[in-house]
Amino acid sequence: MLKEFFIRGKRSLVVTGTHGKTTTTSLLAWVFDHNGLNPSFLIGGIPNNFGQGARFTQSPWFIIEGDEYDTAFFDKRSKFVHYLAEVVVINNLEFDHADIFESLAAIQTSFKHLINLIPRNGQLLANGDDANLAPLLNVTHCPVKRFGLGQDNSIHGFNPRYGPTASEFEIPSFKFHLNMVGEINVRNALAVVACAKHCGLSNKQIQGAFDTFKGVKRRMEVRGIAGGVTVVDDFGHHPTAIRETLRALRLRHAHQRIWAVFEPRTNSTRRNVFQDQLAQSFTDADAVIVAQVARLELLSPDQRLDPQKLMKEIAAGGKPAAYLPDADAIVARLKREAVGGDVICVFSNGPFGGIHEKLLAALGPPG
């Protein structure tokens, strides 16, 4: 339906990768909108500048978040192969979606299929710093440009600066300022710069949109402050996403205690494919609480995440770690132990039992 009724006939810009798709697509759509191009877009989240995840206009531009998950039970190809891409952005590539991909190589094959569909007059923009992407970029049927922080990239971001409320990076002859925190967001912004410049926008036009970008719901979103405790909501559910979000929060809250509260509910994090990586992803947290793994009994014992092993590995790193049954138990624990000045970051790609509202109600008066 998207392909035939919404995208066909338009200039389709498809943003893909394991991490950062939603933020990058939202920022790219805002760059186009801020500069009067009125793009259509479809995003797997809610950009705060738009207040909605989709919009369909008469503009020639269609900006879409390209997901590698399968299309339907009768079509096991990745969704993004249907999006008639003129420009493909690939932010990064890691193993994920363990329920449908058996290995990293299988995911790479799916991305190869997408790359092979880019027309001769199109453009592949890819993270040149990502080793998992490198084998996919030696193609001759379409132009390829690499972006990244490494010197060998044709779109080279250098002199990155990471502050508690903003970040900066440079390309030759221009310095970009971003009201977002952390290396992951600098990389997302660099992908946007590469795509927007390819489509004819100037550095000043891009920076004007960066200045007014308001972020995305559920991406390091502050849900409120109660009893002096800041409650943050984040969609992170892959070890790398959790690690990078906590790194960014550590920049923002350098001297505060950070609690990481994680709900393993995706088909990958319920499995043991990330058993070791998960423990390492909490390095920048001061304390960790993990909720009971959802629907664990539906997996065979040899596939399941081992919560007790995870607790031991986190505790071995010198952090308090707890495995609790549900949102209510977690709220009760944090009500007892969190103090003014603490930051609680909740990682989940679901509603998590309304934990954010429950925390704010339990921790004390707002402000």
- What is the domain-level CATH number for residue 63? 3.40.1190.10
- Is the domain of 299 the same as that of 172? no
Final residue in a domain of this structure, among 162, 180, 212: 212
Question: What CATH number did the domain enclosing 349 receive?
Answer: 3.90.190.20
Domain stop point among 157, 189, 212: 212
d(CA 172, CA 366): 45
State both tokens at 269.
């994090």
Same domain, 150 and 39: yes
Per the document, the length of the chain is 367
The predicted structure's pLDDT at residue 300: 86
Domains identified in the chain, total number: 2
Write down the pLDDT at residue 20: 93
State whether 168 and 282 are in the same domain: no
CB 124 within 8 A of CB 88: yes
pLDDT at 328: 97
170 lies in the same domain as 314: no
Based on the fold, state whether residues 105 and 152 are members of the same structural domain: yes
- Which residues span the domain enclosing 321? 221-363
Q: Looking at the structure, do residues 194 and 49 belong to the same domain, yes or no?
A: yes
Confidence at residue 367, expressed as pLDDT on a 0 to 100 scale: 62
Say yes or no: 123 and 244 in one domain: no
Instruction: Say what the pTM is.
Output: 0.92
Same domain, yes or no, for 187 and 274? no
Residues 28 and 100 in one domain: yes
pLDDT beneath 70, residues of the chain: 98, 367
Do 273 and 328 reside in the same domain of the chain? yes
Last residue of a domain, one of 212, 233, 260: 212
Q: Are residues 146 and 25 in the same domain?
A: yes
pLDDT single digits (tens) 15-28: 999 999 999 999 99
Does residue 272 sit in the same domain as residue 155?
A: no
Q: What is the pLDDT of residue 268?
A: 84
- Rounded Cα distance, 127 and 146, in Å: 6
